[in-house]
Structures are given as C-alpha cells and as structure tokens.
Amino acid sequence: MLVQAGVSCQWTIDGQRLILEYFDMINTSPFHIYCSALQFSPSSSWLHQYYSPELSQEVKVVKEISFEWGPCFRTVLWKSDLVALACWKDIVAVGSRSTQVIIYNAITGGQVTVLYGHTGWVKSLAFSPDGTLLVSGSFDKTVKLWDLQTGGFVKTF
C-alpha cells in the first residue's frame, strides 16, 4: 500500500488511536482488527474511510459510529493494593503496600520505572508543577524527593 506524504501523518495518528482504543481486543485476537476495530473507528478517521469499501462487503455495522475519536480509556491492573495515586500530564505515579512508587505512561498503560527506597507503604504522592520532581510520603515516617528525569532520589526528609 502506498501512502501519500500528506496523509501519512493522519494514517499514523489514526493507527495509534485504533490500537490504543482496541488494544485488549486486538491483543486477545488480532483478527478483530478487521472484523471489529476498523468497523467501529470514527467515520471521519482516515483508516475508516480507506478500508470502508472492503470491509462493508464483509460486515454490517448496526451500532452508530462516532464521527471523531473520543477519549481513550484503558484499564490497567495493579499487582498490589493501591494506596496513593498522582497524575501529571501523561504520567501516573502509584504508591502501594509494596513500598515502591511505580511510574506509568497514562496513554499506553506501560510501566516506565519503579522507585525504591521506602520501607513502609507509600501513602501520598505529589508532582512538582513542571513534572520533573515527585515527592512521596510513607508509613515509614519519611518523605522522599525523587528526580523523575534520572529516576533517583534527591533527598529523604
């Protein structure tokens, strides 16, 4: 398939949104890209318009199709009990009973890094206004300041 330079950006954006929106279904059964995911992509998306003629011969859509992409929601299962949560743009920090602070990418749900150092449950978290620092409070009666660019702790209070 040849993609013209003008549409390559839109093709990439729509492809990413399609994968993020239907990730769990595609992960379980890749065939669902063709029989479900493309059919329910927004009618204004490049992917829907490009593949619509071929797909309409195979599957009939009876559900109303939205015109544009909506918010993308993903469910991420935590491996331990969640005690604290903080968000800054596309970053999510999670404190848990495991004494770790886990940093996730809010868009993909992927784990970015784990911050070790507390000996008790992490019960509170907060980002600095620019998102470069994170402060965590723990049942071990300490507060730690973390540098998110290096993943190291700056100071323990």
Where residue 96 sits, what CATH number does that domain have? Answer: 2.40.10.480
Instruction: Give the number of domains in the chain.
Output: 2
Residue 74 lies in a domain: no
Q: In this predicted model, which residue has the larger pLDDT, 13 or 144?
A: 144
- The token pair that represents 82 in the structure block: 């969640």
Output DSSP code: residue 106: T
Same structural domain, 102 and 151? yes
Categorize the per-residue pLDDT at 37 as very low, low, confident or very high, splitting at 50, 70 and 90: confident
What residues contact 48, with CB distance under 8 A and at least 6 apart? 14, 38, 41, 42, 65
Question: Which tens digits make up the pLDDT trace of 103-118?
Answer: 988 877 788 999 999 9
Helix (H, G, I), strand (E, B) or coil at 136: strand
Q: Structural domain of residue 32, as residue ranges?
A: 5-56
Same structural domain, 38 and 88? no
Residue 70 lies in a domain: no
Residue 72 lies in a domain: no
pTM: 0.57
Q: In this predicted model, which residue has the larger pLDDT, 96 or 24?
A: 96
Residue 46 lies in a domain: yes
With a pLDDT cut of 70, the percent of the chain lying above it is 75
Point out which residues pair with 103 in neighbouring strands: 93, 113
Same structural domain, 89 and 143? yes
Whether the per-residue pLDDT at 58 is higher than 80: the answer is: no
User: What's the rounded Cα separation, in Å, for the pair 116 and 87?
Assistant: 19
